[in-house]
Structure formats: structure tokens, C-alpha cells
Structure 1
């Protein structure tokens, strides 16, 4: 991408608009999670198939994350983002009709492709339009999109469902996506993007995977993200039963918000003086310490909030690391595609493995498994940093 940063100013209005598009992408994932307990009323007798309504979006990300990074670069970032927003809007409006389950599942699979295109194209665009001094803050802001979207769904989406039903939530999401497609089609028109010539075939896709994960530059944010996502959702899912009932609701509601606040305050401040990888390492080390605290003090609310704060450092800095380690839009898109892939792997595997571990070992299994995963994330980053030094 070619952008003129000679004046070293960042178009913050456009950055916020792109972040807003990211909230819509996160809601593609979260809108059915928020109403999952109500789905049996719509599809009685569907049984385990209802889980696919939520998970099929993430499953596609496991297999197609890297492909999305290549395709977004090939069809150009602005075009990919706008296409994904319009398709996402149409699919959400279709879902508002509550079609038969097979059609709903097909729409969710297609929505997974829309989701991937947005989460690959948008941070790539943000990194390119920002002045270098502002990239850390802007990409840390981008890193909050999932937590903020899930909070909005809880605070506004569920009351809307109570008031007007599930179709109202799905239709509102469709209109939101369409609104941002219209807004960004105007705001992004002036950008001139140069995309590399790429081919898409099975051998080329396999080569792309090898190239990405052999590169200590492209793969590093995604490798760390794997261990972060393995822990984040699984901890939020398994931990509540170990917190005292009188504190449980407050702690579980506060943890995502503390994580976001930590990312946007301490994380941004650290990014101004040290590299994103070093911030990630501080986050992993702090998370290991917090899990040790939780091991010694099971379910202690302040220890839970401390863990959320340290995880927030990993969250924001992981996206900030992409442009620090990769200087071209094409390699940034590949890195963001890899983040989408490893993030979906972590989200998919984390909760069942955590549930099995705590089922076997009891509460101690949670801090042991989470602490080990955080330690492995730090070790992986240190290993990749050493490879970059050797290169």
C-alpha cells in the first residue's frame, strides 16, 4: 500500500471507522453466542447441530486463515473489506428471517468467509494509514474489538432480544454492517493500494503456510496469539464455578473490561518505550505470576482481575507487533491471516482441554494448564526473537 505520511498525521476518524467495522466482525462471531440458550426454541430437536451455528465461523478460520491473508492481498484490501461488509450485512438480514437450519448453517459458513476478510484486511489498513508513532495505540485499540463487541452484545443486544426478539438483533447487525460499508466506501476511496501478484492453488496455499510459519517475523504474532486465545476464552468459561457466588457476576463482568483497560493504558504506555514483543513477554510473565497467585488463592477476585490485566498486555501488543516485524502490506496481511488461524485454533481447543483438565485434576488443573500455556507462549516468542537476531 502506498500512503503519504509525510505530514506524520493519523486520520483518526478513519481509524475509528475501521475499528467500528471490526466490532461488526466480532458480532458475527458473538451474536449467536449471546443468544445460544434461546436457539432450541427456534430449532427444536436440532440437538448438537445447534453448536455449529456458533462454531462454524471459527472452524473456517482454522482452515482458511492463511488463505484469507493471501486472498485479501490479491483482491486488494479496500475491495476485500467492502465486499466482506456487504456480504455480512446481506447474510445477517437473511438470518433475521430465521430460515430452516440447513440454510442457517450455510449462511453462517459464508459469514465465516466475510469475518475472515474483515479481520485480515482491517488491521492491515490501520497499520498502513497511521503515522508510525501512532501505530501502537491504533492497533492496541483494534485489539479490543472482540471484548468491546461482546460487552455491547450483553448490554444492548440482549435487551433488544428481550424487547423485540432474535430477528431484531440479527437485523440490527445487518444494518450496522451495511452502514459501515457505506461509510468506508467513501472514506477509503482516496487510498491507493498496491497488492502483489499472487496465485491461489493447493500447492501454493501449502507453500504459503510453510513460508509463514518458517518466518520468525511473519509467524511471531500468531504463535503468541495461539497461547493467548487458548487461555482467554477457556479461563472465562471454566473459572466462574470456582469464584464465590457473591463475587462471581462482578468478577466475570469486570475481567474483559479490565483486560481492555490494561491494554489501552499500560499497554499503550509501554509501547512508546519498548517493542511490542517485549510488551507481550511482560504480559506472559505477568500472567504466569497471576496463575500462581490463583493456585495459592483459588478463585480470589483480585487475583482474577490481575490475570485479566496481564492478559490485556498480550492482547493489544500482539496486533502492534505485526507492523513492527513486517514492513510491507502483503506480509502484514499474511501475519494477520495467521493470527486469525491460530486464534481460532486456540479458541476451539482451549475450552474443551481446560474442561478435561479441571475434570481430572480439579481446580488445580486451571492454573497449572493456563500457567504452562502462558510460559510456552513466552518461550515461543523468545525462541523466535533469537532466530530474528541470528538472521
Structure 2
């Protein structure tokens, strides 16, 4: 097995990169499987919509509070160990969820899954930063940031083709275990000692009081609010506006989510070639998402144009996650604080996932679909104002 020192700037280990990205996609599958299984879960456990929503939102709820602690775990135990631990916990929770005989046990399993998801997805970027050469980092982080839309789209497509949610969830357990075995091939760290808890607490405080990481996390919170405000209601929205069957609405929703991958890859390629300023990619994504979102909810447009705008919203919006992931390490107060800065972004992402659907849902319940345009417009405007503040950091500009 290859061994790398923690401070080494290695040639990119593409095999390890593929394994880490696959681990992220598999982790995101566990989010998507809850969405596709929700109707069957409501029947099996006799659940109302509010109770069933916890099957999905428990991941986001945990992420709001545990992003920085997950980053502390990376600094304490190492990126490789934390990633392996995360996959193991994810597998255990998935097995418990698949075999749950009651809704309470299902929620316990989903909570354990959520902890495994956080450990895996916070450790993975830190791990990639160690095993990827500096010249390849922007491209690889663009590739990494596709894990969520890729995993969710795969879950929507594959889950819809299978009968019975338990069988699909057990298949996911096998997939997690396979990924865990492959993850042992990732190069180990050497010459590192875990930080004491007092030092970890100081580092967490430094991260929380550093303007750069906090601003990036706030922008990502608002991006997540925007994205999930639409994505969470896509099957319902497309079914209502395009008058298609639930099955077709689900497939169209998967396509909208999947096209987000293209934006992430495009951002990674542009940043890797140093062709565009990071703040400009933020601004483009936010302007397009805000404008398209307002039109989707507010304008009386033909069904085909509504779907086209959903694709544009998701695809161009994908410029922002890859840019944020590659920028957070550059704005960390010190290189060793990178895992905590990434954990702060995870907390922001999950806060947006919680607030976005709730805010839009309340607006739609109160005044119909057009009312959803207001939270979309406000979130996009606030994110643009924060992006203007980020422009003062040299890392947000093209560096020649």
C-alpha cells in the first residue's frame, strides 16, 4: 500500500481520487434513497407527511450542528481514518434502517447514517487535498463537488426501477461495504500526531471568527437554500405545471438534478486553467439561479420553458459548489484549518437544506406557487451582497 507523508505535495493518485469521489456518490445515494422511498415508507409505517419528512431532513438537521465537529475529527484522527470510519458508520446505519421494524428504529438508523455521511463527506475533501497535486486540485475538487447531484440522481433513477424499498436499501448496504473495502487502498498519512482537544477547540474558534471561511459558508447556505427550495418540490412542481405522471415527473426531476454535475465540472475546468475569477463564478451562478427561479415560480410560462429554466437553474448553479469547495482552503486562516473550514461549509449547506424547503413550502401554502419567488429573490440578492464582500480577498481573483 502506498504511503505518503502529510506535508508532501504528491503527484495525483488518480486511483485514490476515483475511490474518494465514489465514496461521496455512495454517501449521497443514502440521501436520495430516502426521497424515492418516501411514498412506500408512509404506507408501511402509516406516516403523515410531516413525520415522513424526518427520513430525509434528519441528515440536514445533523449537518447544521456537526459540520465543524466532523472537521475536528479529521484533525484529531486523520483524513483517511475518518473517511473509513464514516463509511463503516454509514453501512451500519443503512443496515439498521433497512431492517427497521418500526418508525422509531428507522429514525435511529437514519441518524446513524447521517453521522456516517458527515464524517465521510467532510473527511473526503481534506483527503483529496493531500493526495492531489496542486496543479490538479481545482479540477479534482470540481469533480468531487458532483457527488451530491450524482448520488441523488442515481437514487431517483435506480430506486424507481426496483420494487420494494427494503431491497433497494439492502443493496445500498452492499455498495457501502464494497466502497469501504476499496477505501483501504487510499494512501495513509505518516508523521502525524492527533491534536489535543484544547488545540482543536482553539482551531474551531479561529475558523468561526475568520471572515473568509464564514463568508464562504454563508454564501453556500444561501445557495443551498436556493437549490433545495426548487429541488425539494421538483416532482410536485413539474407534475402540476407540466401535467405529467408522477413517474415521468420523477425522471425529469432526476435529469434536472443531474445537470448540476455539468456546472461543477465546468467550474473545476475553468479554475484549473485560471481563466476566470472565483467571485465572478459565484455572481454568475447566483444571478442565473435567482432570475430563473423567479421566472419558474412567478411567470405563466409554457411547460417546456418551465422545464428548460429548471435545467438552466440547476446547471449554471453548479458553478458555485465547486468554486466554494476549492476556495475554502485558500481562505482558511492556516492550511491545517482546511477540514474545519470545509466542515463550516457543510453546516451552511445543511442549514440551507432545512430552511429552503420550509420557507418555500410555507409561502406556497399561504399564497400559491408565485409566492415562492420572494424567498428565491431575497436569498439570491443576499448571496450577491456577500459575494461583493468576498471580492476583497485576493484568492477570489484570477491569480497569474
**Counterpart position of 1:237:** 232
Q: 1:251 to 1:42 in 2, by over 3 A?
A: closer
Q: 1:182 to 1:200 in 2, by over 3 A?
A: farther
**Counterpart position of 2:128:** 126
**Counterpart position of 1:213:** 208
Q: 1:361 to 1:22 in 2, by over 3 A?
A: same
The Cα of 1:216 is off from its aligned counterpart by 2.0
**Counterpart position of 2:17:** 15
- Deviations 1:252-291 (CA, angstroms, capped at 9, x unpaired): 3432222211221355225522343432222123323434
Q: 1:106 to 1:131 in 2, by over 3 A?
A: same
- Deviations 1:92-114 (CA, angstroms, capped at 9, x unpaired): 22333233332222222222211
Rounded to whole Å, the distance in 2 between the matches of 1:296 and 1:263 is 28
**Counterpart position of 1:374:** 380
**Secondary structure at 1:218's aligned position in 2?**
helix
**Counterpart position of 2:168:** 169
The Cα of 1:151 is off from its aligned counterpart by 1.3
Q: 1:327 to 1:107 in 2, by over 3 A?
A: same
- Residue segments in structure 1 that go unaligned for 5+ positions in a row: none
- Deviations 1:99-134 (CA, angstroms, capped at 9, x unpaired): 333222222222221111111100111122111221
- Deviations 1:220-272 (CA, angstroms, capped at 9, x unpaired): 33211100110111112344366332698375343222221122135522552
Structure 1 residues 91-240: aligned runs within 5 Å: 91-160=93-162, 162=163, 165-189=164-188, 191-192=189-190, 194=192, 197-199=195-197, 210-238=205-233, 239-240=237-238
Rounded to whole Å, the distance in 2 between the matches of 1:271 and 1:372 is 31
Structure 1 residues 326-337: aligned runs within 5 Å: 326=332, 330-337=336-343
Q: 1:315 to 1:80 in 2, by over 3 A?
A: same
- Residue segments in structure 2 that go unaligned for 5+ positions in a row: 396-400
The answer on 1:52 being equivalent to 2:58 is: no
Q: 1:387 to 1:67 in 2, by over 3 A?
A: same
The Cα of 1:334 is off from its aligned counterpart by 0.5
Rounded to whole Å, the distance in 2 between the matches of 1:274 and 1:320 is 13
Rounded to whole Å, the distance in 1 between the matches of 2:272 and 2:381 is 21
Output the TM-score relative to the length of structure 2: 0.85
CA contact (8 A) 1:242 1:363 kept: no
Alignment size in residue pairs: 380
Rounded to whole Å, the distance in 1 between the matches of 2:346 and 2:320 is 15
CA contact (8 A) 1:217 1:325 kept: yes
